């Protein structure tokens, strides 16, 4: 350890960072080497070679520690709302920069304490055409809050065809159990009738809940009452009709060549009393859960003690404000999700042609390829939209090099082809994609040559 720390190669690191952080990194590197010696039984020559490489390994360890926990990546997968890449890409940092002070709970006119969420609640309600709205940390929180406030220790009726799981950890029956509401399942997986809901109504019934099948479809011999029919039944019994809509769809998706999905406004018009959805799906904003509906149902949520635990932070509020304003003013191109949806296939093909030419000049055998992009992230299951990109040979090895590039580029593998869909790549990132491919391809093919 002493010899390692006084190695001239590490002197600049010790000077810049102090001795302790470098010693910590060295300890980890040495531990790993000891393990390898014990496990693989390295001989004297091999150990000497590893020891000579130690200063370099310690520097690499320090670089690894410097890396941000969440590096920005270029998404070339063609999945617009990629759950593993943070769902909706956010627009540039909101102004005022969220790092400074904000008039968050401060009324600038009176100089008194203001209401944190009031201005944003009005804007959300206006955008979705609802009397009232509320924002929480995510849609799971929204549903938890709704059920806790309106149905605790009582029953909520749900069709067996709608007991959904989203992204592995959101499972409707489990959220329901956590809220203290009792799940009453009705109907069958493929068919549920209005009379099933009616038969389930009793003393303890608190609400009907409809959950959107965001990430799967049921096809074939199926049946389900319409929302209007359910709403009429709910009204007769003075029960609220709750809808977990999920995606926050606010436009006719036919505009982008996608199948129609009921919008939040359509659900409210059809008789839903409360609709909840995510902020980082089709709204294109930060992680959030939004609840819209009549004041009589939304206000108990805002006053519930759990609300304090589930409320969003100031960065999400500031970002949401910016995204809502862009929707309100029809400036959809400022919301990255809609900028990507709005790209024409012709435009993507032109970018691919330009990139391909540059790459082939640099010796990368890239060719243009028609692709299908998907919205993803628990929206519009099964449906794809035409897109265009590049394909290069090289399989896993090239894909891995692309991921290790700075900034990392995440692509799709199809058999032995690496496919880069340009719909999810911002045009200003094309140069990065080119540089990453040239580097990845060079290293990968050097390797192959070396192996021959």
Which residues here bind ligand PLP, judged by CB under 6 A? 138-140, 164, 166, 170, 211-212, 214, 244, 246-247, 278, 289, 378
Tokens found for residue 174:
């489990």
**Where does 405-429 have alpha helices with state H?**
none
Interior/surface letters 204-213, b for 16+ CB within 10 angstroms, e for the rest: ebbbbbbbbe
Distance separating alpha carbons of residues 185 and 188, to the nearest angstrom? 9
- Report the alpha-carbon angle 160-165-166, nearest 5: 140
Nearest-approach distance from CB 166 to ligand PLP, in angstroms: 4
Burial (CB count within 10 angstroms: exposed 0-12, middle 13-18, buried 19+), residue 49: exposed
As a whole number of Å, the end-to-end CA separation of the chain is 39
Nearer to ligand PLP, 58 or 146 (CB): 146
Please count the other Cβ atoms lying within 10 Å of the Cβ belonging to residue 420: 29
Shortest Å distance, C-beta 195 to ligand PLP: 25
Q: How far is CA 373 from the centre of its chain?
A: 16
Q: Residue 33 Cβ, how far from ligand PLP at the closest point, in Å? A: 42
> Closest approach of Cβ 162 to ligand PLP, in Å?
9
The residue among 139 and 369 lying less far from ligand PLP, judged by its C-beta, is 139
- Shortest Å distance, C-beta 244 to ligand PLP: 5
Q: Which is nearer to ligand PLP, 167 or 347 (CB)?
A: 167
Our CB check for ligand PLP shows the closer of 144 and 392 to be: 144
Of 277 and 441, nearer to ligand PLP (C-beta) is 277
Q: Which is nearer to ligand PLP, 170 or 208 (CB)?
A: 170
DSSP 134-152: EEESSHHHHHHHHHHHHHT
Helix or strand holding residue 227 (H, E): helix 227-236
Angle 54-66/19-40 helices, nearest 10 degrees? 120
Q: How far is the CB of 72 from ligand PLP (least distance, A)?
A: 21
SS3 content of the chain, % helix, strand, coil (to 5): 50, 20, 35
Q: CB-wise, 278 or 424, nearer to ligand PLP?
A: 278
User: Shortest Cβ contact with ligand PLP: which residue?
Assistant: 246
CB of 378 to ligand PLP, least distance (A): 4
Q: Which residues lie below 8 Å from residue 142, measured CB to CB, with a gap of 6+?
A: 134, 136, 276, 277, 289, 290, 291
Least separation in angstroms between CB 248 and ligand PLP: 9
The smaller minimum CB distance to ligand PLP, of residues 170 and 307, is found at 170
């Amino acid at each position: 350890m002493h010899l390692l720390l006084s190695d001239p190669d590490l002197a600049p690191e010790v000077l810049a960072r102090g001795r302790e952080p470098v010693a910590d990194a060295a300890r980890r590197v040495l531990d790993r080497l000891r393990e390898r010696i014990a496990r693989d039984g390295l001989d004297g020559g091999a150990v000497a070679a590893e020891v000579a490489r130690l200063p370099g390994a310690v520097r690499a360890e320090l670089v690894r520690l410097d890396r941000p926990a969440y590096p920005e990546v270029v998404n070339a997968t063609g999945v617009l709302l990629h759950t593993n890449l943070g769902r909706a890409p956010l627009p540039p940092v909101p102004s005022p920069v969220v790092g400074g002070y904000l008039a968050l709970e401060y009324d600038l006119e009176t100089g008194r304490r203001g209401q944190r969420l009031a201005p944003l609640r009005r804007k959300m309600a206006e955008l979705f055409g609802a009397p009232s709205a509320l924002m929480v940390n995510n849609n799971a929180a929204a549903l938890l809050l709704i059920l806790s406030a309106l149905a605790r220790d009582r029953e909520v009726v749900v069709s067996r065809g709608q007991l959904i799981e989203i992204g592995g950890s959101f499972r409707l029956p489990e959220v329901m159990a956590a809220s203290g509401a009792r799940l009453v399942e009705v109907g069958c997986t493929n068919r549920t009738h209005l009379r099933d809901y009616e038969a389930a109504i009793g003393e303890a019934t608190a609400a009907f809940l409809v959950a959107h099948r965001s990430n799967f479809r049921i096809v074939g011999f199926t049946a389900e009452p319409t929302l209007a029919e359910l709403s009429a039944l709910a009204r007769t019994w003075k029960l609220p009709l709750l809808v977990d809509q999920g995606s926050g769809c606010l436009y006719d998706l036919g505009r982008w060549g996608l199948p129609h999905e009921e919008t939040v406004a359509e659900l409210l018009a059809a008789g839903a009393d409360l609709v909840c959805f995510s902020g980082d799906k089709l709204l294109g904003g930060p992680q959030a859960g939004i609840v819209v509906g009549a004041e009589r149902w939304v206000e108990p949520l805002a006053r519930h003690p759990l609300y304090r635990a589930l409320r969003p932070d100031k960065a999400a509020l500031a970002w949401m404000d910016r995204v809502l304003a862009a929707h309100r003013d029809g400036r959809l191109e400022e919301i990255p999700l809609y900028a990507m949806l709005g790209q024409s296939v012709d435009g993507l093909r032109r970018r691919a042609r330009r990139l391909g030419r540059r790459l082939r000049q640099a010796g990368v055998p890239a060719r243009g390829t028609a692709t299908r992009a998907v919205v993803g992230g628990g929206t519009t299951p099964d449906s794809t939209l035409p897109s265009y990109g590049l394909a290069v040979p090289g399989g896993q090895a090239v894909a891995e090099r692309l991921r290790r590039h700075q900034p990392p580029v995440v692509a799709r593998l199809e058999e032995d082809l690496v496919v880069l869909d340009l719909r999810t790549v911002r045009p200003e990132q094309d140069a990065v994609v080119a540089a990453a491919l040239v580097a990845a391809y060079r290293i990968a093919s050097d390797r192959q040559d070396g192996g021959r």
